[in-house]
Amino acid sequence: MPNFLVVKDLELPAEYSIIELDGHKTLTMRGFYEEIGDALAFPEEFGFTIESLDEMLSNLSWLEDEKIVVYISPSEHFIEKERNPEKIGTLLNLLDAICEDWRWEDSEDLPKKELIFAFSDSARVRGLLDKQEISYRTSTK
């Protein structure tokens, strides 16, 4: 399974836990941090920064689920109002790297996880991922 999905309808095997983020609330980086922090029940020390996001998503020890899909819908305005557009590329590259790291994680300190980010299909998200040369699987069902 790829690290990113861009799909019309999200259909996954039952072993995947789908965590939904309201795309209407992810118009800025801060909005994205708040949504993902709430949805994944980040510990109180989450600092609403890219570094803190990296720390949280690279741990996830407080979650019982092993296969997690973070689904953002609608996605046509994903981080559209961010003042510094470079931060979007940084975020997407970080998410890609974290998902990849989980594929190879073999630490005895952390439970094994699979993390995937899925977006409802939109030209914006496809364009953002293409610009960063991040591969993704699409579905047009």
User: Which tens digit of pLDDT belongs to each residue from 114-126?
Assistant: 999 999 999 999 9
CB contact set of 57 (below 8 Å; sequence gap of 6+): 40, 95, 98, 115
What is residue 109's predicted lDDT score, i.e. its pLDDT?
74
Run of H or E including 139: strand 137-139
pTM: predicted TM-score of the whole model, two decimal places: 0.93
User: What domains, with CATH codes, occur in the chain?
Assistant: 4-139 (3.30.370.10)
Residues 7-60: tens digit of each pLDDT: 999 999 999 999 999 999 999 999 999 999 999 999 999 999 999 999 999 999
β-sheet with 67-73: strand ranges across: 17-22, 67-73, 114-120, 4-7, 137-139
Residues 87-117: tens digit of each pLDDT: 999 999 999 999 999 988 777 777 789 999 9
What is residue 140's predicted lDDT score, i.e. its pLDDT?
53
